[in-house]
Amino acid sequence: MQVTDNKRKTIVGIFIFLGLAIFVLAIFTLGSQKKVFVKSFSVNVVFDDIQGLKTGNNVWFSGVKVGTIKKIQFFGTSEVQVFMNIEEQTHQYIHKDAKASISSDGLIGNKIIVLTSGSPKFPFVEDGDRLKVNTALSTDQIMKTLQVNNENLVAVTTDFKTLSKNLVDGKGAAGALLADEQISENFKSIVENLKNTTLAANKMASELNNFTRTLNTKGGLADKMLTDTMVFSRLQNSVNELQKTTKSASTLTENLNQASLNLNSSDNAAGLLLNDQQTADQVKAIMTNLQNSTKKLDENMEALQSNFLLRGFFKRKAKEKAEMNKE
């Protein structure tokens, strides 16, 4: 009976020892993971939003876990101050201008704090220092941006789907161009006309180039006009003479206009004769009187020829006239 009790006590002792060993091992394991038994120093950072960060979450530096979050408390009006325990061996890599940002341990993992080293121009960080916040995009912000981009991509894809369907159905100008054969033929005609217009423009440019080359031909009229001072002087003299002729013609035209105005006016003899009815009637009366006087003079001359006193004289004159006509 005593042997059985001793055996039982031995087994219980073994189990208790194993349990204590496992407990101590677990404490050391957890402590090593949480960096409990590692010499460390404390720094803090103030965030506007910690995005679900909790006490005990890890602190990473250059992809290596170097510490844990010790304490989280409110700071100021709406900010949050986070205290971190950092391994002492990392002290020589972190400078006072180092920055901290919130990220995730993987896409859906726990929140972590990521530290940057800072510039070597600054001294190393000390216990109790406050780090600056890295304003670079966090993983959550990147995921939100990707989500927005995905939504925009879906919207663009939907629009392209609608556009392609409208093109296939012949809706809109582009769809009609692809589906309507008549519009397609018209478009081909437009392109052909543009092609012909381009060819004509090229031909015109070539002819203009040839004409310009002709103008530049040595000894030609255009070349003499542009380069020979004597030819240019002659042309200038011709232009001056032409200007004088034009001026003379203008003077002549002005004189004719003045004469026409005088003929239309009643303050001169010609204008009075052409425009005054009374004067015209008087001139007609004078002409009538002259005609009547001439007629009476003819009658008087016939009467004189019949007079016996002058009959011989007129016969002699008629005979001399007849002899002159014969000669």
Count of other CB atoms within 10 angstroms of residue 165 = 11
The phi and psi torsions of 41 (rounded to 5 degrees) equal -130, 165
User: Could you give the CA distance from residue 285 to residue 292 in angstroms, rounded to a whole number?
Assistant: 10
pLDDT recorded at residue 83: 96
Eight-state DSSP code of residue 120: T
Q: Is residue 23 part of a domain?
A: yes
Q: Which residues touch 126 (CB under 8 Å, ≥6 apart)? A: 41, 96
Chunk the chain into consecutive blocks of 10 residues (it has 327) and report each block's average pLDDT, rounded to whole numbers: 67 77 68 60 92 90 91 91 92 91 78 91 91 74 76 81 68 60 73 85 83 67 62 75 81 76 64 65 76 72 64 71 76
Q: Is residue 132 part of a domain?
A: yes
| Residue where one domain finishes, among candidates 75, 105, 136 | 136
Q: Is residue 218 part of a domain?
A: no
| Residue where one domain finishes, among candidates 136, 170, 202 | 136
Is the domain of 69 the same as that of 119?
yes
User: Could you give the CA distance from residue 214 to residue 221 in angstroms, rounded to a whole number?
Assistant: 10
Is the domain of 26 the same as that of 49?
no
Is the domain of 81 the same as that of 12?
no
Q: Which residues touch 218 (CB under 8 Å, ≥6 apart)? A: none
Own/partner pairs, 169-174, CB within 8 angstroms, 24+ separation:
none
pLDDT recorded at residue 180: 61
- Paired sense of beta strands 79-87 and 40-47, if any: antiparallel
Is the domain of 54 the same as that of 120?
yes
Q: Is residue 71 part of a domain?
A: yes
Is the domain of 11 the same as that of 76?
no
The amino acid at residue 101 is S
3-state SS, residue 121: coil
Domain that holds residue 27: 1-33
pLDDT recorded at residue 59: 93
pLDDT recorded at residue 265: 65
Angle at 277 (CA atoms; ends 273, 279), nearest 5 degrees: 50
Is the domain of 112 the same as that of 78?
yes
Indicate yes or no: pTM above 0.85: no
Eight-state DSSP code of residue 247: H
Is the domain of 12 the same as that of 70?
no
One DSSP character per residue, 137-186 reads --HHHHHHHHHHHHHHHHHHHHHHHHHHHHHHHT-HHHHHHHH-HHHHHH
Tokens of 285: 């009366």
Q: Which residues touch 178 (CB under 8 Å, ≥6 apart)? A: 167, 170, 184
Q: CB of 66 within 8 A of CB of 99?
A: no
Q: Is residue 80 part of a domain?
A: yes
User: Could you give the CA distance from residue 163 to residue 169 in angstroms, rounded to a whole number?
Assistant: 10
Q: CB of 306 within 8 A of CB of 315?
A: no
Q: How many domains does the chain have?
A: 2
Side-chain-side CA neighbours of 58 within 13 Å: the count stands at 16
Angle (deg, nearest 10), helices 311-326 and 277-306 = 100
Is the domain of 43 the same as that of 29?
no
